[in-house]
Amino acid sequence: MWAATADRLVDHPEAAKTADQAKLADCFAACFQYAQTCTACADACLAEDMVADLAACIRTDLDGADFCAATGTILTRQTASNPGVNRTVLEAFRRCETACASRLAASA
């Protein structure tokens, strides 16, 4: 699935402006994969008997899923791309990922 997206990226008229298209494709693929992981984690928490005790974990997972999907979508758009916005979104993604990992470690 991601290979088809990477192919579209290479064919994009703005592709020459992207320094490393393979890294960019890997990056937004990782964002969408992480969004799916966060969604699966939230769903697993919802199936637990003590679901009320997992509210903070579920919230973090759902926020992470939404944020990761948004990051992947923003990075996928190449027309009139704003490097400053992309950099800011990626930095926020890293913080979100760290928060999710911390919450996961705390609930394990």
Determine, yes or no, domain membership for 1.
no
Other beta carbons within 10 Å of 86: 16
User: What is the residue range of 99's domain?
Assistant: 21-107
Determine, yes or no, domain membership for 38.
yes
Per residue in 40-95, pLDDT tens?
Answer: 999 999 999 999 999 988 999 999 999 899 998 988 887 887 889 988 988 988 88
Number of domains in the chain: 1
pTM (2 decimals)?
0.77
Determine, yes or no, domain membership for 6.
no
What sign results for the dihedral spanned by CA atoms 65, 71, 72, 77?
positive
